Chains A and B, each alone.
Chain A
């Protein structure tokens, strides 16, 4: 018999009970769209995190002091911390040592960083607490990927002369100046006057932290007026290229180990490697996505059981019809095909509707995350929905096909 006829019978069977078919489809619809959407949200989250990491700067290593000693220090794992006489802090001399071309050939630039605690900037009547007030060298801008939008950077001259100039982030500019042009204006930071020379390009918020709520000034100027000449908070090292970050990390480690007298495992600093961080984060978000998909898959399973349920009811309800069909010569294959196809059509229609819903749903951002549709998840979800129809429909269909005609006809 013609396969097309089986499709017709199956469609007729489904349309005979529109409400029931629609509700059964709904189960699959929810399952499929949940799988696709949750995977898309996971993928979106992963991309946005990756982007944020990239925004921190390309090919950079961030060296920061570690007073915990040993243990989980960033790149340097290692054995137990032995008793240590003194944990040295990061100094400007450490930074200078890293610029040595022979000891550290993979290092492109070194930017020592101090951060001023609680810097409040004021301009006229407006005031704003700057989240991050950074004192550093001009190479910092390139290393951490902060281009200037208006005005200029400050230069090495400004650093040597300890000029009180500052480049502010967009958030700070808006808080203090509104829509007016801040370049050339003087603001007072914790009572110290600074001249605004530039405004950073807007980078957008990175999760909870506003990356634009920042001000960057020459290192000595900040030390003189705000933070004092203490240790550095960070040294930002930029490697010469993406493939040399690991080499640069080794070189930096060697130089600092020597300078700090570190032997064995317990370093008094840690190095945050952009590349390693990215790897770790993408692994974590990958796990997160799998978890989401697993939860969604359960709803797909429930939808599949719904199909079995409804098909069993249908078979029972139509036992007499099956008997009639068999009495007039329907083969076992025809009956099996009809009911299997009904189940598969149900789940396929639910699957397609679910994909459409997911396409619509992923256009909206969820909790600040723009979902990214993963094509393979669409294919997978559709494939699984067809598989579910075949698998969960096979039991009821088999029961229908196995019915003896006389028993089926006598069924009330």
Chain B
């Protein structure tokens, strides 16, 4: 029980004032063999994700699947309702007057794709998450304003608090802090 209650080290965080510094630090950390790390920034920094060694997200494919589901749902719903469940002769028109079914099919395609897009993005990002250890970093508020943070996490197989701290200090940060997950 005790070790659950006790605060564990989450990682070592370096704070940078400039996007190029955090980008360089991320590249260096990867070259040094660190794998479990993340960077936090007030704006998307292009190349940072690649520097951290991450692959492209599958989100676009999920959205495509969502859209396709919407198309099939939209058309299928109208087909079933107007042709199978309650065929209704309106002015002698065929019960499957498919061109008239396109607007609703289109709208449901967009609706399903957009819902998948937003909820998929938040789900893949693990949000909402009210408590994240990174918020324990001193001055972390500035990650939403003008500072950039790089965290090498304790989960990293090479993690050693002193070595990581020394390594990050070489990258020219404003500050380096060890944070816990409590």
Determine if chain A interacts with chain B. Answer: no
Residues of A participating in the B interface, judged by any CB pair closer than 8 Å? none
